[in-house]
């Protein structure tokens, strides 16, 4: 029973940071904008490319994450501070300007699912930084499951983009995205605090 509760706790501690870092709801208006001239089948293919790109990129970072730590000679405390500061700056930028990552991309419509939707919008610096931190703190399998569940949620939201935006309204989407960014900023501060305490302690 204790082991089950520990797994549930680790799942929550990995799922929530990835959920707020991914901010799939905030991507919806951009998806609608870049796919508005596409036919239904073409939009579905674009969304599939976006999710597959995000999945491959995220899993690649999970696979080489610890190797990056060893190669650069850093430990998790260093990365908690540095990564936390980056996440905080990204969240602050979104709160102030409304854009965490620039969405413009001079690519053809066939590649819009890869760039900018797959990366940097679905999986960008915030998600990748969060993944690198989580894999050194929690069970690898749990981190991967949390990441893939978040991607599944993002896939559903992207596939139903028009309905979600119609339900929430443009103002509701922006407000939800701001709240998510606020939580991301709070999680970033927590990471910095943990890193500093680990270094000085």
For residue 191 the two structure tokens come to: 């990471």
pLDDT bucket at 36, cuts 50 / 70 / 90: confident
Q: Considering the entire predicted model, what is its pTM?
A: 0.82
pLDDT at 107: 52
pLDDT bucket at 104, cuts 50 / 70 / 90: very low
Separation between Cα atoms, residue 41 and residue 45, nearest integer Å: 6
Q: What is the DSSP letter of 31?
A: H
Owning domain of residue 87:
2-200
- Please choose, from the candidates 21, 53, 8, the residue with its C-alpha nearest in 3D space to the C-alpha of residue 145: 8
- Looking at the structure of the chain, the number of domains it has is 1
pLDDT at 166: 87
pLDDT in tens, 158-180: 999 989 888 988 888 888 888 88
For residue 24 the two structure tokens come to: 């799939």
Quick count: other Cβ atoms within 10 Å of Cβ 131?
A: 26
Q: Kindly report the three-state secondary structure assignment for every residue of 148-201.
A: HHHHHHHHHHHHCHHHHHHHHHHHHHHHHHHHHHHHHHHHHHHHHHHHHHHHHC
Give the mean model confidence (pLDDT) for residues 58-83: 85
pLDDT at 110: 57
Is residue 52 packed enough to be buried (19+ CB in 10 Å), middle (13-18) or exposed (0-12)? middle
The values of phi and psi at residue 137, to 5°, are -110, -30
């Amino acid at each position: 029973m204790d082991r089950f509760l520990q797994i549930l706790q680790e799942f929550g501690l990995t799922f929530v940071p990835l959920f707020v870092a991914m901010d799939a709801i905030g991507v919806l208006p951009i998806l609608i904008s870049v796919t508005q001239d596409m036919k239904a089948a073409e939009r579905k293919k674009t969304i599939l490319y976006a999710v597959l790109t995000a999945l491959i990129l995220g899993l690649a970072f999970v696979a080489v994450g610890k190797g990056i730590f060893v190669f650069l000679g850093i430990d998790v405390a260093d990365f908690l501070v540095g990564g936390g500061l980056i996440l905080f700056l990204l969240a602050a930028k979104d709160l102030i300007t409304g854009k965490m990552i620039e969405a413009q991309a001079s690519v053809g419509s066939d590649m819009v699912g890869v760039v900018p939707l797959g990366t940097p919008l679905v999986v960008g610096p915030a998600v990748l930084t969060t993944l690198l931190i989580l894999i050194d703190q929690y069970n690898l399998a749990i981190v991967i499951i949390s990441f893939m569940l978040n991607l599944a949620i993002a896939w559903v939201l992207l596939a139903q983009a028009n309905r979600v935006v119609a339900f929430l309204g443009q103002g509701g989407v922006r407000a939800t995205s701001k709240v998510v960014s606020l939580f991301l900023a709070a999680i970033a501060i927590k990471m910095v605090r943990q890193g500093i305490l680990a270094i000085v302690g």
